[in-house]
Chain A
Amino acid sequence: QVQLVESGGGLVKPGGSLRLSCAASGFTFSDYYMSWIRQAPGKGLEWVSYISSSGSSVYYADSVKGRFTISRDSAKNSLYLQMSSLRAEDTAVYYCAREQGSLGLFDNWGQGTLVTVSS
Chain B
Amino acid sequence: QSVLTQPPSASGTPGQRVTISCSGSNSNIGSNPVNWYQQLPGTAPKLLIYSNNQRPSGVPDRFSGSKSGTSASLAISGLQSEDEADYYCAGWDDSLNGVLFGGGTKLTVL
A35 is an interface residue with CB less than 8 A from chain B: yes
**A50 — which chain B residues lie within 8 A by C-beta?**
99
Number of A-B residue pairs with CB-CB distance less than 8 Å in the complex they form: 71
User: Is there contact, CB below 8 Å, between B100 and A44?
Assistant: no
Chain B, Cβ-Cβ closest to A35: B99
Q: How far is the CA of A45 from the CA of B39 in the complex (A)?
A: 10
Q: How far is the CA of A47 from the CA of B37 in the complex (A)?
A: 13
User: Is there contact, CB below 8 Å, between A103 and B99?
Assistant: yes
User: Is there contact, CB below 8 Å, between B98 and A45?
Assistant: no
User: Is there contact, CB below 8 Å, between B98 and A47?
Assistant: yes
B45 is an interface residue with CB less than 8 A from chain A: yes
User: Is there contact, CB below 8 Å, between A106 and B104?
Assistant: no
User: Is there contact, CB below 8 Å, between A47 and B47?
Assistant: no
Number of interface residues of A (CB under 8 A): 25
B32-56 vs A: 1/0 string, CB under 8 Å?
1101010100001111001100001
* Pick from A45, A100, A103, A105: contact of B45, CB under 8 Å: A45
**A111 — which chain B residues lie within 8 A by C-beta?**
44
Grouping DSSP codes into helix (H, G, I), strand (E, B) and loop, the B interface class, with mixed when no group exceeds half, is strand
User: Is there contact, CB below 8 Å, between A59 and B98?
Assistant: yes
A46 is an interface residue with CB less than 8 A from chain B: yes
B90 is an interface residue with CB less than 8 A from chain A: yes
**B35 — which chain A residues lie within 8 A by C-beta?**
104-106
Q: How far is the CA of A100 from the CA of B2 in the complex (A)?
A: 23
**A95 — which chain B residues lie within 8 A by C-beta?**
44-45
* Pick from A61, A100, A101, A110: contact of B98, CB under 8 Å: A61
Interface residues of A in 70-105 (CB under 8 A from B): 95, 100-105
User: Is there contact, CB below 8 Å, between A103 and B92?
Assistant: yes
Q: Please list the residues of chain A having a beta carbon within 8 angstroms of any beta carbon in chain B.
A: 35, 37, 44-47, 50, 59-62, 95, 100-112
Please name 18 further chain A to chain B contacts, defined as beta carbons within 8 Å, in addition to the given A59-B97, A107-B47, A108-B47, sorted by A numbering: A44-B88, A44-B101, A44-B103, A46-B101, A47-B99, A59-B98, A95-B44, A101-B50, A101-B51, A102-B32, A103-B92, A104-B33, A104-B100, A105-B35, A105-B50, A106-B47, A106-B90, A110-B44
